[in-house]
Amino acid sequence: MNLLLALLLWAILLALCWPIALLLLVLWPILWLLSIPFKIVGVAMRAVLALISTILFLPAKLLGYRGP
């Protein structure tokens, strides 16, 4: 669904202003490649926060707290 929406928006942009649409078509893979390190950092931060959360809630789990 997201791909269809993106394609539709790109087609509208192509009809309204074709130089910007073609520039976007060329630059999109470069922007995607530049975003990969940020995605890796995001995954790493999520893992670190999950580890901290697990360590903080470990005493409660050991004492038998079941949560809502």
Amino acid 1: pLDDT: 80
Give 65's pLDDT tier (boundaries 50, 70, 90).
confident
Name the residue with tokens 């995605």. 39
Amino acid 29: pLDDT: 93
Please write the tens of the pLDDT for every residue from 5-58.
Answer: 999 999 999 999 989 999 998 999 999 999 999 999 999 999 999 999 999 999
14, exposed or middle or buried, with CB in 10 Å at 0-12, 13-18, 19+?
middle
Type of residue found at 50: A
b/e 18-34 (16+ beta carbons within 10 angstroms → b): eeebeeeeeeeeeeeee
DSSP one-letter code for 17: -
State whether the Cα torsion 37-42-43-44 is positive or negative: positive
Instruction: Indicate if the pLDDT at residue 68 is higher than 80.
Output: no
